[in-house]
Amino acid sequence: QRSGSKDTNPNRLDCSCAGHVDVQDLSPEFTAIRELKEEIGLQFQPQDLIFAFLSPCVSRTNTYYDRELVHVFILPCSNFQDFRFTVAANEVVNLHVEPISTVLTDLAQGHKRFVPKPKHYVDALAHTFQRIKKNNL
């Protein structure tokens, strides 16, 4: 759950750790690794990630207009209890673990508790999880 102090989508749930590529980041994978560490205290290597998809995303409110290309990666794990999370209070206030089917349904229906995602993003995310399940990744 995003911090209430965030300027975009405060207090909403997001289905990912996310951030912008910094100048010193060598690749989108390194950005993903950096964001995992900054936001929830998990340290991994780029090879631990599975590339899922690339998605153009546009969001607009009264205060901002954001156009970006989103690189989506999956961090496979079988048991979240094995991880020691440390949340950055200025970024995250709570972690939720929910079945992916619930998350995908709520995202697709535009449930207000989530940061909004475009239909093509939700479809690509659903396809990614189907592929992971099919291939036992």
With bands split at pLDDT 50, 70 and 90, how would you rate the model's confidence at 85? confident
CA distance 4 to 13: 11
- What mean pLDDT is predicted for residues 44-62? 89
Beta-carbon contacts of 80 under 8 Å, excluding residues fewer than 6 positions away, are 97
If one counts every other C-beta atom within 10 angstroms of the C-beta of residue 101, the result is: 10
Residues found in the chain: 137
Q: Summarize pLDDT for 93-119 with one digit per residue, the tens.
A: 988 888 999 999 999 999 999 999 999
Reported as type and span, the H/E element at residue 53 is strand 50-60
pLDDT at 79 exceeding the cut of 80? no
Reported as type and span, the H/E element at residue 30 is helix 28-40
